Amino acid sequence: MKPPLPDIEKPPACCRGGLFSSFLPLALFGLLCFAWPRVANGDIFAVQWPWVPSLDLDLAFRLDGLGLLFGLIITMTGFFVCLYASSYMAGHQHLGRFFLYLHGFMLAMLGIVLSDNLLLLFVFWEATTLLSFLLIGFDHEKKTARENARQALLITGGGGLFLLMGILLLKTCGAGMTMSLLADSGDLIRSHALYPAVFICILVGAMTKSAQVPFHFWLPNAMTAPTPISAFLHAATMVKAGIYLLMRFHPVLGGTSLWMGTLVVIGGATALWGAVQALAPCDLKRILAYTTLMALGILTLFLGGKNVLSLTAAATFLMVHALYKAALFLAVGSIDHQTGTRDLAHLGGLLKQMPLTALAVAAATMSMAGFPLFFGFIGKEIMYEGALAEEMFPAFATGATLISNALMTAVAAIILITPFLQKPPQNMQAVQEAPWTMRLGPAVMGTVGIIFGIIPEWVSANLVQPAVFSIHPDRADIRLAFFHGINLPLFLSILTLALGSLIYRYRILLRHGVETFVQRSWITTPELYQRALDGFLSLAGGFTKKIQNGSLHFYLFVTIFTMVAAVGWPWICHFPAALVLPEIVGPHIAFGLFAFILASTGVVVTARKRLSAIGGLAGVGSGVALIFLVFGAPDIALTQLLVETLTVIFVSLVLLRLPPMDTVTKRPYSRTIKDAGLSLGAGLVLTTVLMGVLQVPLDRTLTAFFENHAYIAAHGRNIVNVILVDFRSLDTLGEICVVVLAAWAAVTLIRRHKEG
């Protein structure tokens, strides 16, 4: 995918608005740094405002060690991504929109990791889902972008609904909505009969967001987004939201064999599947996407542990991964931006042309492969310690970690060696180094990866331990260290590097193997997703064709039939013992009016010309208006008469344009009978219902109230109008909104018909 180019010849190197927009994440990062020392000492910052108290929904925010760790990652990556995008996206026509979405996403992400109320967390969770939909589909003119955005939305959005269910089930279990107090009721929840349901709902929410097998396939597809977005959403932040959720719920739901077994198995499967698939693609971004799957799987696997060691491994690897993955994504984007391709087959020899980017990539990939002196090495050591300490399936966990780490080492070598050191393909043109805005992020993150690798004790005390302590009751002192002594983890680290180089040696053979395996697999979840989506769409299409077939006659028939059935059925069920014909009182002229209405109806039904049918219709309407007048309701009579007049005008404007009635093909006889039956049924139901109503005495409470209050409270003598504009004015406001909207719709339809 080429970066979007504007029409002008040379795009600007960098847009100032983008530079400006990177101040917000930088300021937030600074703010978090300001709070950092106190949080590292165990202090907690919390604020709370009521929002919807009736739903237990408060604007409650809380900054503890875990929130700080995530917050620092989010704002730091956010800053570099904004800076990077100011060059990468320069000249794009929707820059404002881009930065709006990006900032919105970052704030929503911060909202997730800082909110202390479960429902508030859900609100932010959904916000990230929606914003990621907009960001993945940012190049909305491309079909694949739209489809992949929809896929991500359906999967993560569906998972969000599970999360909501889980939260509501938690409430049923007797837990409050305040997250920091949830851990106190952990024992109660774990022993509750609903615990498995809560666990599954929360787990599905986390699995969809963090792309765990079998919901993993949206993540590689989401790579259609512009690279800064992929770096931000799909490497460092959004996909980590599920991990964050599992971390937060660890003290509440964790520790049971259900939790441990499920997480270890799912995490291990995701890690292996992601790592194996990372070998296959030629597209650099897709490779990175699969390695992200591996990382997410490993994180889930470690969260399956109950002990501090596993959690420390998760928190450490979270940082390791965020640092090297964001750097690599941005660097790959730079390669793409400068050369115009991300395809490994068309790249090579970039070391001389892009030396600074090459250096950053080297630092990041070394950390990814886990060489000593890099932060990745520290991460790998603690990973093996954590895997060996797992309560459930430690052998599987260690094996999965070992194999996926070895594969990561090989993939790191591919990413570093192929584009930078390999001999360039013949047709490759000379390229320039990326601008500084695009180099700064990878360079800084790569450097931090080295610094953290040299001072692991500091990282451990200031970042990892505060995070782990906020989700684990045991304050076991586990420190990251450069050298742990000669033990099993060290041996496994060496084995990883050896295996990795072996895999790199036979990578082409393995690539073919993976490709054939993927092709031959019996049924994959992406296919299942596609089938379900197609089925759903064709079902909806068929349904729409049935009920929106364009025949006005059909619509009216269904509407009236529904009304008759809905009123008639309960009426028959509760039919009174006897129906008495009410005593008819009133002036004799009323009888004349009834006869007039009846005659007009006859004219409408039997008319052979449209004009006479319209005339009959007008007769019915004015007859009804006159009846209102005769029985003492002048206001309604006036309105009815005016409505009738206008209706007649409108109906004639429309109907007189149609071809004359006698030229239209006659309706079949059976249809006439059906219509007549329905009309008579409607008349019968309404008449008998009215007779039933008249048998009970009329309740005049409301009438009396309005008669007494209309003038005193509302200074009006016309009760009907006073009700409309004063007592029930909110209803009237709603009604005129409907009138205006309906007119709008009608005008649109008329115009479209005329243009078409």
Residues that bind other proteins (CB under 8 A): 634-635, 637-639, 642-643, 645-646, 649-650, 653-654, 714-718, 720-722, 724-726, 729-730, 732-733, 736-737, 739-740, 742-744, 746-747, 750-751, 754
Instruction: Provide, rounded to whole angstroms, the least separation between the CB of residue 633 and other proteins.
Output: 9
H or E stretch including 708? helix 701-714
| Identity of the residue, 631 or 744, whose beta carbon is nearer to other proteins in the bound complex | 744
Nearest Cα neighbor of 252 from 182, 162, 176 is 182
Instruction: Provide, rounded to whole angstroms, the least separation between the CB of residue 551 and other proteins.
Output: 21
| Identity of the residue, 423 or 717, whose beta carbon is nearer to other proteins in the bound complex | 717
Instruction: Provide, rounded to whole angstroms, the least separation between the CB of residue 743 and other proteins.
Output: 3
Instruction: Provide, rounded to whole angstroms, the least separation between the CB of residue 630 and other proteins.
Output: 15
- 672 token code pair: 């006439």
CA 430 from chain centre, in angstroms, equals 42
**8 Å CB contact between 394 and 385:** no
Nearest Cα neighbor of 296 from 231, 338, 238 is 238
3-state secondary structure of 576: coil
Q: Is the peptide bond before 214 cis (omega within 30 degrees of 0)?
A: yes
Single-letter amino acid code for the residue at 547? I
- Distance, CA of 562 to CA of 92 (rounded, Å): 53
| Identity of the residue, 5 or 742, whose beta carbon is nearer to other proteins in the bound complex | 742
| Identity of the residue, 603 or 641, whose beta carbon is nearer to other proteins in the bound complex | 641
Instruction: Provide, rounded to whole angstroms, the least separation between the CB of residue 545 and other proteins.
Output: 28
- Distance, CA of 233 to CA of 701 (rounded, Å): 62
- 522 token code pair: 């019996």
| Identity of the residue, 501 or 647, whose beta carbon is nearer to other proteins in the bound complex | 647
Helices (H), 471-609: 488-505, 507-520, 525-547, 552-573, 589-606
Instruction: Provide, rounded to whole angstroms, the least separation between the CB of residue 731 and other proteins.
Output: 10
| Identity of the residue, 558 or 739, whose beta carbon is nearer to other proteins in the bound complex | 739
H or E stretch including 63? strand 57-63
- Distance, CA of 104 to CA of 462 (rounded, Å): 29
**8 Å CB contact between 338 and 433:** yes
Instruction: Provide, rounded to whole angstroms, the least separation between the CB of residue 594 and other proteins.
Output: 24
**β partners of residue 62:** 46
| Identity of the residue, 543 or 650, whose beta carbon is nearer to other proteins in the bound complex | 650
| Identity of the residue, 389 or 710, whose beta carbon is nearer to other proteins in the bound complex | 710
Instruction: Provide, rounded to whole angstroms, the least separation between the CB of residue 622 and other proteins.
Output: 14
- Angstrom CA distances, 662 to 329, 658, 667, 668, 676, stand at 73, 11, 11, 14, 20
**8 Å CB contact between 426 and 349:** no
Please state the φ and ψ torsions of residue 506, each to the nearest 5 degrees.
Answer: -105, 30
| Identity of the residue, 127 or 638, whose beta carbon is nearer to other proteins in the bound complex | 638
Single-letter amino acid code for the residue at 92? H
What is the signed CA dihedral for 496, 502, 505, 508, rounded to 10 degrees?
A: -90
Instruction: Provide, rounded to whole angstroms, the least separation between the CB of residue 736 and other proteins.
Output: 4
Instruction: Provide, rounded to whole angstroms, the least separation between the CB of residue 642 and other proteins.
Output: 4
Instruction: Provide, rounded to whole angstroms, the least separation between the CB of residue 649 and other proteins.
Output: 5
**8 Å CB contact between 311 and 468:** yes
| Identity of the residue, 606 or 721, whose beta carbon is nearer to other proteins in the bound complex | 721
| Identity of the residue, 516 or 703, whose beta carbon is nearer to other proteins in the bound complex | 703
3-state secondary structure of 715: coil
